[in-house]
Amino acid sequence: LPSPIPWFLTQPVTPDLLVSPSSQDGDLGSECPEDRGNWTGRLDFLLSCIGYCVGLGNVWRFPYRAYTNGGGAFLVPYFIMLAICGIPIFFMELSLGQFSSLGPLAVWKISPLFKGVGMGTILIVSLVAIYYNMIIAYVLFYLFASLTSDLPWQHCGNWWNTDLCLDHHVIRAGNNTLPVNISNTVSPSEEYWSRYVLHIQGSSGIGDPGRIRWNLCLCLLLSWTIVYLCILKGVKSSGKVVYFTATFPYLILVMLLIRGVTLEGAWKGIQFYLTPQFDHLLSSKVWIEAALQIFYSLGVGFGGLLTFASYNTFHQNIYRDTFIVTLGNAITSILAGFAIFSVLGYMSQELGVPVNQVAKAGPGLAFVVYPQAMTMLPLSPFWSFLFFFMLLTLGLDSQFAFMETIVTAVTDEFPYYLRPKKASFSAVICIALFLMGLILTTEGGMYWLVLLDDYSAGFGLMVVVITTCLVVTRVYGMKRFCRDIHMMLGFKPGPYFRACWMVLSPATMMALLVYNIVKYQPSEYGNYRFPTWAEVLGILMGVLSCLMIPMGMVVAVLQEEGTLWE
């Protein structure tokens, strides 16, 4: 009898490009790994991207950045930077994900030498996910605190207030006959935030975290539970949740906007926000700030876009989606500015101080200034609840993306073992990140949060994005990349995209990186300066994500057979 033909000769041959990552490794005999899954509805992908990009930064960073950097004039560098390094990199990331259908680690089959870039991304995203969920926990805390007839930060005279506390209701009742000196007093909302919510007086600094605040700890547990339940089934479940979390903030934003603009004094705040000061455009700082705002606001480099696109069908029109999401994100930021500054204008009129004394950025705006403004409105608990509910929905869908990125990246590396157990693997990651975030719930937790916020996604993220840009255009090859896009979308990217990918985007990012290093300022929180060891720890966080790249190269070279020279 002739010997039977070996089975592997009868198998159809798949061209190299289309081989899925899982069929290259894993034993030949074992069955195919479970399917990755796809988005189930038409709008799932688009809404997930909008939900991911439109986050807390649009509300609390952009308006303040605009007002400090030339008001209306800031929109000029903002849109130029959007065109140079926002849209092109956004489109690049979506194309990489959709063409490969792989997560941010496995996608580096395009150049195995640079797999470390993927590892750097995962490290950055994990650090950001830890503290981003703590911010959501603060929002939940305030959300529950708003469910009363009288907001707890409305008056002085609670156990957490000090003698410096000054209630604006008292100022108004006094008819301003006596000029009140506000400069060395503290608002009740400021003391509620720092002395009650954070209980920061229990900690002397970052090296002395103090006790865990159990109410914050429970809020953090709740926020991780919500996130877990929403990403339980991967994009099949989170793709449905975003129908609510990506659209509802717009409804609330419009309500807050209408309420804000109808207040007296609102015009004062809006003037402040939009009066163009064109002399600012001559300073490099304004252009850098614009680029930074675009960079963080669109979430490029975090792997979220790549992950979402990897669940698309092969011919999804990501070109159109790129413009919808990036421009929608910019418009949302500008709208949020109106909603914030109209209320700040009203507040400055009530307190009789100029707008620039009440304007703040970051958590100070969300947890001190805006809640204080809410107490001045009729029906204050209702408006306060709406505002924090908006922040909750804004924050959650960005957090889904971070988690989806981590889970997808690792499951695509080990599809045989992890894909069938994706739900339990997600649970393990959520629990691990919750435990790491426990230090943020202590009395000195805010110092750690500031440290993570300043360093986790600073220069490390830029190095990752610059490297990605250079590897795709130089190593993988611009021709190849354009051919891939042509295969998916039916047309090649025009000269604008090619010019940005080859030169403009990497050059702008390099400028950003250099500026960040040259203008380096130590972290601070209020009047507290961080000790040197904390600074070093922060810088190490950033450097570690950069070091992943050379480490990945070493591993890749060691895994290959043959001598180093070969």
* Cβ count within 10 A of residue 307: 30
38 is known to lie in a ligand binding site: no
How far lies 373's CA from each of 352, 358, 384, 556, in Å?
A: 13, 10, 9, 56
* CA pair distance 4, 25, nearest whole angstrom: 26
CA distances from 129 to 139, 243, 341, 468, 562 (A): 15, 22, 29, 22, 40
Q: Is 183 annotated as a binding residue?
A: no
DSSP state of 162: -
Instruction: Find out whether 317 is annotated in a ligand binding site.
Output: no
| CA 33 to chain CA mean position, Å | 32
Q: Is 444 labelled as part of a ligand binding site? A: no
Which secondary structure element, helix H or strand E, spans residue 524, and what is its range?
Answer: strand 524-525
Q: Which residues are CB-neighbours of 401 under 8 A, at least 6 positions away?
A: 48, 51, 52, 299, 302, 304, 307, 308
CA distance 545 to 464: 8
Q: Find the helix or strand (DSSP H, E) in which 525 lies.
A: strand 524-525
Contact 236, 40 (CB under 8 A): yes
Q: Is 223 annotated as a binding residue?
A: no
Ligand-binding site membership of 3 (annotated)? no
| DSSP structure string for 266-296 | HHHHHHHHH---GGGGGSHHHHHHHHHHHHH
Helices (H), 101-175: 115-145, 168-173
Interhelix angle for 380-413 vs 44-53, to 10°? 110
Q: Is 184 annotated as a binding residue?
A: no
**Amino acid of residue 112:** P
Residues contributing to the annotated binding site: 51, 54, 58, 297, 329, 394, 397-398
Residues contributing to the annotated binding site for Na(+): 51, 54, 58, 297, 329, 394, 397-398
